[in-house]
Amino acid sequence: MSHGNEKAKDRPSVGRTLQQARIDAKLTVDEVSSATRVRIPIVRAIEADDFSRCGGDVYARGHVRTLARAVGLEPAELIELYNAQHGHHDESLPTGPLFEAERIRPEPRRPNWTAAMVAAIVVVIGFVGFTFFSAGEDEGGGGGSVAERTETPGADSPGGDGPERQGPDPTEPEAPTESAVAGVPADKVTIRVSMEGTSWISVKDSSGGVLFEGNLEDGASETFTDDERIDLVLGNAGAVKLHVNGSEIEDVFEPGQVQRLSYTVGDPEEG
């Protein structure tokens, strides 16, 4: 085994091999990033043999496979070289310590659009409620109210002065639908798992309790919520699409690839 490692050390590094293949293919870093959806800073870091920004061995191997295909290399051979030069860890079983998904150094938080949306919905609900309440008072014949004097005389009353009201104004906003107010709570972590294939999935809350464990079939969709953190293990990550706190996770997962992920309140952080 040590003899194999010595031979691997004599070969060009994984990053150098990827960089040389990209140059030979007459591709720029930007073009490779656009084709693979691996961000430019990570492509540059990998070509410099810096895998610290990948978020762990599983992510690193996934990026190496993706970049190898983009520059015309055989992914399996490059993964063997990575294992020999950087150490091999078994990724075939959904066990072992969980690590957090790749995070770029956080910048100051963006405005909390979720809170703004909720506030706007509350204003709309209050306005609609006030309109309906006023209309109800008019129909009940409340004495001397401004709404009553505005509504009478009606459309059938001759000699009525001013604009006539003939029921609720069709231009007034309707009460928001259930989907409009079903925004994700800002003080919790909410993960939606949508299947584009079949995969074994494990979902645990911040206390280690199992929220779900088993197979999800193509077309299935499940949502999980916790106050602090949710840990995921995806047996076939390429078949899974994730939405975390209302935002789609854009990482490209490989079919058959095992992913171990952890998300908290406020994720994903913008890079």
Mean pLDDT score of the chain: 74
Query: Whole-prediction pTM value?
Result: 0.34
**CATH code, domain with 14:** 1.10.260.40
In a domain, residue 50? The reply is yes
Strand order, beta sheet including 229-234: 210-216, 199-205, 229-234, 259-264
Q: Is residue 96 in a domain?
A: no
Q: Rounded to whole angstroms, what are the CA distances from 90 to 59, 124, 198, 205, 210?
A: 13, 54, 22, 25, 23
259/196 same-domain check: yes
- What is the extent of the structural domain holding 237? 189-264
> Which pLDDT belongs to residue 234?
81
Asked if 147 and 211 sit in the same domain, the reply is: no
Higher pLDDT pick, 152 / 236: 236
Q: Are 134 and 77 found together in one domain?
A: no
CB 137 within 8 A of CB 147: yes
**H helix or E strand, kind and range, residue 202:** strand 199-205
d(CA 89, CA 106): 29
Helix (H, G, I), strand (E, B) or coil at 235: coil
73 and 122 together in one domain: no
Q: Are residues 129 and 200 in the same domain?
A: no
Is 172 found in the same domain as 198? no
pLDDT tens readout for residues 62-96: 999 999 999 999 999 999 999 988 765 544 433 33
Whether residues 117 and 51 share a domain: the answer is: no
In tens, the pLDDT along 235-256 reads 878 888 878 888 888 776 788 7
Is residue 22, in this structure, part of any structural domain at all?
yes
Q: Decide if 92 is inside a domain.
A: no
As a residue count, the chain comes to 271
Q: Give the number of domains in the chain.
A: 3
Q: Is residue 102 part of a domain?
A: no
